[in-house]
Amino acid sequence: MSAKLLRPVAIAGTGKYLPEKVLTNADLQRMVETTDEWIVERTGIKERRIAAPDEATSDLAIKAGRDALENAGIKAEDLDLIIVATVTPDMAFPATACFVQKALGAPKATCLDVSAACSGFLYGLELARQSIASGSAEKALVIGADKLSAIIDWTDRNTCILFGDGAGAAVLTPAGEGTGEILSAYSGSNGNLDEILHVPGGGSRHPLTAENIGSKANTMKMSGREVYRHAVQTMISAAKEAIARAGLTSDDIECFIPHQANLRIIETIADKLDLPMERFFVNLESYGNTSAAAVAIALDEAQRSGRIKRGDHILMVVFGGGLTWASSVVRW
């Protein structure tokens, strides 16, 4: 997907929320046959956050959204658009974005969810950018939020060690004097590879019934090695595409913010792009893979910690079930 813009668009502020409860590798060692050593060596993850039983995805999204609005200095009532990227909506409908609207008080906003798994935040960011660029919206809130703990099989060591819960958000406005600008975006999908990462049950294909609930069809199934291979290939080509569309080279990018799935995936990408790891922002050791939230949380931490400064070029690149992928270059 690519298009000419009628006016430039900026990220005016970012935010995040992580649930309080920490689940460490030592905790997982007591739940499945694994070790802290194996998890750290194969993934880089040390701990992740888990939402409380009464905390739904919208509860995470609302807190991240509020944080981003405050950071941007924008009022919820001025929002024209709220997009929540999630594969763990509160319920089939209303959209999780409608619950965010209700809690924040944003009566003017059109509210919708985007389902693109771990790529959802960048899909949402580009939809919001196009809405603002075309003039159909002035101010948009994009949130990546997932409570993956609700769809994890906690007896499957292949998946349960990888994921965590969280939310990250960004507020978009037209670019102006003193703001940055989203310079490029690229995205793609490959529905032929649906089965390597999916939750087969719980939708209209295999609704949950008293008979099939025992088969755990409502939890994530993953072919780890295959996903790994596609993640590396796809994120490398998506990164190159977004950089080229921005008219830049990888040397111009001060900070790479990749999907936070596995440290080895990020190290391989750095190696293949011939870039030092210091140029990559990594926080997966603390949160694991938070799906649609991961790159949004990382963006917020990178900007608040001073890792990215006004005028820097940053590249975000993501990959997820679908398969889906996306990338974007932003001048901060």
Catalytic residues: 118, 259, 289
Indicate the residue among 58 and 262 with the shorter CB distance to ligand COA.
262
- Distance of closest approach, residue 225 Cβ to ligand COA, in angstroms: 5
> Judged by CB under 6 A, does residue 231 bind ligand COA?
yes
SS3 15: strand
CA distance 217 to 318: 26
Name the residue with tokens 């939310």: 167
**Of the ranges 97-105, 133-141, 219-227, 241-249, which one interacts with ligand COA (CB under 6 A)?**
219-227
Tokens standing for residue 265: 């995936």
- Distance of closest approach, residue 14 Cβ to ligand COA, in angstroms: 21
> Judged by CB under 6 A, does residue 322 bind ligand COA?
no
> Judged by CB under 6 A, does residue 298 bind ligand COA?
no
Which residues in the 111-150 window bind ligand COA by CB under 6 A? 118
**Of the ranges 38-46, 142-150, 186-194, 246-254, which one interacts with ligand COA (CB under 6 A)?**
38-46
Sign of the Cα torsion 205, 209, 212, 215 reads: positive
- Distances from the Cα of 74 to the Cαs of 11, 95, 102, 140, 212, in angstroms? 12, 23, 17, 10, 47
- Distance of closest approach, residue 226 Cβ to ligand COA, in angstroms: 8
> Judged by CB under 6 A, does residue 289 bind ligand COA?
yes
> Judged by CB under 6 A, does residue 38 bind ligand COA?
yes
> Judged by CB under 6 A, does residue 187 bind ligand COA?
no
Binder among 175, 227, 246, 317 for ligand COA (CB under 6 A): 227
Contact criterion met (CB below 8 Å) for 322 and 190: yes
> Judged by CB under 6 A, does residue 228 bind ligand COA?
yes
CA distance 69 to 169: 9
> Judged by CB under 6 A, does residue 30 bind ligand COA?
no
Nearest of 140, 203, 147, 145 to residue 172 by alpha carbon: 140
What DSSP designation does 280 have?
Answer: B
Contact criterion met (CB below 8 Å) for 208 and 229: no
- Distance of closest approach, residue 316 Cβ to ligand COA, in angstroms: 14
CA distance 68 to 79: 12
Name the residue with tokens 């899909």: 123
Binder among 261, 263, 266, 315 for ligand COA (CB under 6 A): 261
> Judged by CB under 6 A, does residue 327 bind ligand COA?
no
Binder among 187, 219, 262, 327 for ligand COA (CB under 6 A): 262
Q: What is the DSSP string of 17-85?
A: E--SEEEEHHHHHTTSS--HHHHHHHH---EEEE--TT--HHHHHHHHHHHHHHHHT--GGG-SEEEEE
**Of the ranges 108-116, 177-185, 207-215, 222-230, which one interacts with ligand COA (CB under 6 A)?**
222-230
Strand pairing report for 221-222 and 255-258: unpaired
Phi, psi (deg, nearest 5) at residue 147? -115, 75
Tell me which residues touch ligand COA (CB under 6 A). Answer: 34, 38, 42-43, 118, 157-158, 161-162, 222, 224-225, 227-228, 231, 261-262, 289, 319-320
